[in-house]
Amino acid sequence: MTPTNIKGQLQQLANELGGGELFVADENRQYRPTEHGRAVLERARRVLAEVDALARLSSPVCRIAFLPQHAHIVASARRYLRDASSDVTLELHVLEEHHRSRAGFEANVVTPLQHGAFDIVVGLPPRGHKQTLRQQFLYSSRLEARVPVNRAGDHIELTELVEKHSLLVPPAHTRSRVLLDGEIRQHVDPELIDRRYTVHLEAYGTKVLVTFADIGEGTVVVPSDISYPFKNGSSFGGAGSADCAWVPVTQDDEPLTHDVVVTTQKSSHRSDTVSQVVAALGETAASMALGATARGHACEVTELLRQTDAVPIKRSRPS
């Protein structure tokens, strides 16, 4: 489809919705939604979620949505239910990597959950919605750095990470990256940040980050639930995993953490099924060494991270 065709279809859609402009071109000729366009998009998401929920109104199937890093928890919970001879039928919905951002999660995951398109969501704690949604804590995930085992201590402090390591990290606006950048801003000398803070590569895929770490391109920093399958002896550990250790990133000897929760509707006609699945998720999460035993410098309490999304630190080394 050509740009002209796309522009024509957008104009046709705008005309059908009352004539207000949905998009505007910026100085780089990139189209961005107007305030009216964002309002239309938000309303459209709610309508689609309602339609989806209506289509499954009489279904006994429990639909669970989860981020890719929570696959091992959901798979273990499914096996737990199967071994317990449960009659629960689960429909799995794997979320996209960009849903790891606060804005993406709220718009594309929490809204469908509120309207019944999902029954259970594993991931970020939603903001607000206390009247309609229920949260259950699963665990605190901590930021971990992958370092050579012969140089690994029991942790690595933020200042040392900034001063001595080129970083391989998830993209800006993922929650772990917002946590990392926010804590660096708050606790590391600005002059040191300006001189030494280097992001060598950003990628959602941890396999990509680990691959470049294995050829000496930098140090991977990801949450512990993402590093879990990449540790020595785990499913994605690989040949180089025995030579590396994943150690917590700390500030004043405390880990940098964020909470992972299970969120459900407070009122659902599948409540019995949902309760069984939530209990299974809790049992399996408790049996895994996924993160911190204490919240430490937690994403939910760090001053800069009380904002919708902290602005990431911009300093990357060319590839």
44 pLDDT higher than 80: no
| Banded pLDDT at 151 (limits 50, 70, 90) | confident
pLDDT at residue number 303: 45
Whose tokens are 């004043």? That residue is 252
Q: How far apart are CA 317 and CA 319, in angstroms?
A: 6
The set of long-range contacts for 194-199, using a CB threshold of 8 Å and a minimum separation of 24, is 194/315, 196/162, 196/163, 196/164, 197/162, 197/313, 197/315, 198/166, 198/167, 198/315, 198/316, 198/317, 199/166, 199/167, 199/169, 199/313, 199/315, 199/316, 199/317
Q: Distances from the Cα of 59 to the Cαs of 184, 235, 302, in angstroms?
A: 48, 34, 42
Both structure tokens of 117: 């398109």
Domain definitions of the chain by residue range = 141-258+294-306
Q: For 56-108, how does the pLDDT look when each residue is reduced to its tens digit (9 = 90+)? A: 767 788 999 999 999 999 999 999 999 998 889 999 999 988 888 888 888 88
- Average model confidence (pLDDT) across the chain: 84
Asked if residue 157 has pLDDT above 50, the reply is: yes
pLDDT tens track for 51-64: 666 667 677 889 99
- Say what the pLDDT of residue 118 is: 93
User: Which is more confident, 41 or 196?
Assistant: 196
Q: Give me the pLDDT at residue 304, please.
A: 46
Q: How far is residue 32's CA from residue 16's CA, in Å, rounded to a whole number?
A: 19
Rounded Cα gap, residues 222 and 159, in angstroms = 17
* pLDDT-based confidence at residue 294 (cuts at 50, 70, 90): low
Between 164 and 44, whose confidence is greater? 164
**pLDDT score of 311:** 52
pLDDT (0 to 100) of residue 295: 58
The 10s digit of each residue's pLDDT in 225-242 is: 999 999 887 878 777 788
What share of the chain has pLDDT > 90, as a percent? 49
Any idea which fold 141-258+294-306 has?
D-Maltodextrin-Binding Protein; domain 2 (3.40.190)
Query: Is the pLDDT reported for residue 301 higher than 80?
Result: no
* 3-state per-residue secondary structure call for the chain: CCHHHHHHHHHHHHHHCCCCCCEEECCCCCEEECHHHHHHHHHHHHHHHHHHHHHCCCCCCEEEEECHHHHHHHHHHHHHHHHCCCCCCEEEEECCHHHHEHHHHHHHHHHHHHHCCCCEEEECCCCCCCCCEEEEEEEEEEEEEEEEHHHCCCCEEHHHHHHHCEEEECCCCEHHHHHHHHHHHHHCCHHHHHHHCEEEEECCCHHHHHHHHHCCCCEEEEEHHHHHHHCCCCCCCCHHHHHEEEEEEEECCEEEEEEEEEEEECCCCCHHHHHHHHHHHHHHHHCCCCCECCCCEECCCCHHHHCCCCCCCCCECCC
> Is it the case that residue 113 has pLDDT exceeding 60?
yes
Residue 15 or 306, more confident = 15
Cα 155 to chain centroid, rounded: 23
Who wins on pLDDT, 242 or 316?
Answer: 242
Lowest mean pLDDT across 2-16, 93-107, 195-209? 2-16
Is residue 298 predicted with pLDDT exceeding 60? no
How far is Cα 183 from Cα 88, in angstroms, rounded to an integer? Answer: 42
Residue 70: CA count within 13 A, CB half-sphere: 32
Tokens coding 119: 């029954």
Quick: pLDDT tens for 165-185. 999 999 988 999 999 999 999
- Residue 128 — pLDDT band, cuts 50, 70, 90? confident
> Residue 315: which pLDDT band, with cuts at 50, 70 and 90?
low
Which of 106-120, 125-139, 248-262, 281-295 shows the lowest mean pLDDT across its residues?
281-295
Residues ≥6 apart with Cβ < 8 Å to 257: 140, 141, 142, 143, 291, 292, 294, 295, 296, 297, 298, 299
pLDDT of residue 309: 46
- Please report the pLDDT score of residue 264 as a whole number: 95
